[in-house]
């Protein structure tokens, strides 16, 4: 029987979320996505107009089907959390039921259960600022959007996840090694995400036999990465210094996620899996 996946953090065909959706679809999973509310209209109209059709092609020649797109803002857990200025914001007014709890309820109503949960989202409003210049609000916003959003998603989806299921997030080596330029508390947010991966693996494993892992991905020219401003340099650095001297493709991360989500990884939980051409293992650049 085919599995069902919910992938949070897909708003175009350039990021890791899209690539993960494709690899899961190629392996036979049904695909549901959660798209950030302000990006929803462009994403849905681009999908409808066929703008992503070339990137929808799967290895067997068929096109990936996205069964349903849910509006989502993962910094809000339930309607009581939503402040007035967001409620009345034009970019949110056209959508409804986009808090984490409401999205999980909608997925339950529509499909009953899922097998795979993917968190492929992050946001740090002060990411271009060094940590020493980051405000308290900027730091907390990075943690809220990039770390707690995962705790919240897993908490709300866990009751509808089938035992044996798998949950995956995306992290970055800046959590454990100094990467100047990955600021605004984003390095802190990834450190929290990795630590939470271990604790959540224990809690979700004991509670519902769900595995919890995170992929530490190498650099990819996604929309989010371009906003940080140093992505081309990181890609060049990796090609120059990693054991495997090639550009990392989003598909390589997608395929690793499909492995982690599959029964082939049935004893793997609580881990950080590096999918970065081996760059993490280098001590010096050569």
Active site residue ranges: 172, 182
Burial classification of residue 100, based on how many CB atoms lie within 10 Å of its CB (0-12 exposed, 13-18 middle, 19 or more buried) = buried
62-121 positions binding ligand NAI, by CB under 6 A: 72-75, 120-121
- Phi, psi for residue 280 in degrees, rounded to 5: -60, -25
232-261 positions binding ligand NAI, by CB under 6 A: none
Nearest to 146 by CA among 208, 174, 188: 188
Q: How far apart are CA 219 and CA 217, in angstroms?
A: 7
Q: How far, in whole angstroms, is CA 285 from its chain's centroid?
A: 29
Find out whether 119 and 153 touch, Cβ atoms under 8 Å.
Answer: yes
Q: How far apart are CA 61 and CA 55, in angstroms?
A: 11
Q: Which is nearer to ligand NAI, 209 or 226 (CB)?
A: 226
Q: Is 145 in the site for ligand NAI (CB under 6 A)?
A: yes
Closest chain position to ligand NAI (CB):
15
Q: Give the interface segment with ligand NAI, choosing from 57-65, 81-89, 212-220, 263-271 (CB under 6 A).
A: 212-220
Q: Please, what is the minimum distance in Å from the beta carbon of residue 45 to ligand NAI?
A: 15
Q: Is 170 in the site for ligand NAI (CB under 6 A)?
A: yes
Q: How far apart are CA 140 and CA 59, in angstroms?
A: 41
Residue selected from 26, 27, 39, 69 as contacting ligand NAI according to rule CB under 6 A: 39
Q: Is 33 in the site for ligand NAI (CB under 6 A)?
A: no
Q: Which is nearer to ligand NAI, 128 or 162 (CB)?
A: 128
Residue 132: both structure tokens together = 């020493």
Q: Is 5 in the site for ligand NAI (CB under 6 A)?
A: no
> Site residues (CB under 6 A) for ligand NAI?
9-11, 14-17, 36, 39, 72-75, 120-123, 145, 170-172, 217, 219-220, 222-225
């Amino acid at each position: 029987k085919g599995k069902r996946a919910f992938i949070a953090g897909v708003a175009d065909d350039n990021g890791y979320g899209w690539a993960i959706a494709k690899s899961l679809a190629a392996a036979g999973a049904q695909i549901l996505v959660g798209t950030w509310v302000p990006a929803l209209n462009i994403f849905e109209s681009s999908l409808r107009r066929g703008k992503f059709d070339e990137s929808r092609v799967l290895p067997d020649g068929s096109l990936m089907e996205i069964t349903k797109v849910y509006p989502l803002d993962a910094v809000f857990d339930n309607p009581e959390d939503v402040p007035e200025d967001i409620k009345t914001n034009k970019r949110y007014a056209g959508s409804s039921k986009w808090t984490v709890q409401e999205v999980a309820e909608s997925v339950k109503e529509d499909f009953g259960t899922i097998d795979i949960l993917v968190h492929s989202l992050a946001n740090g409003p002060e990411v271009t600022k060094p940590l020493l210049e980051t405000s308290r609000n900027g730091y907390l916003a990075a943690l809220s959007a990039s770390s707690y959003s995962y705790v919240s998603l897993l908490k709300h989806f866990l009751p509808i996840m089938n035992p044996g299921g798998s949950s995956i997030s995306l992290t970055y080596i800046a959590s454990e090694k100094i990467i100047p330029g990955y600021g605004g508390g984003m390095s802190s947010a990834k450190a929290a995400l990795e630590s939470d991966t271990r604790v959540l693996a224990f809690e979700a494993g004991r509670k519902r036999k769900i595995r919890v892992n995170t992929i530490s991905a190498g650099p990819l020219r996604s929309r989010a990465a371009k906003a940080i401003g140093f992505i081309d340099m990181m890609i060049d650095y990796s090609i120059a210094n990693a054991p495997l001297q090639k550009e990392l493709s989003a598909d390589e991360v997608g395929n690793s996620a499909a492995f982690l989500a599959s029964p082939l990884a049935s004893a793997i939980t609580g881990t950080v899996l590096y999918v970065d051409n081996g760059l993490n293992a280098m001590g010096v650049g050569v």
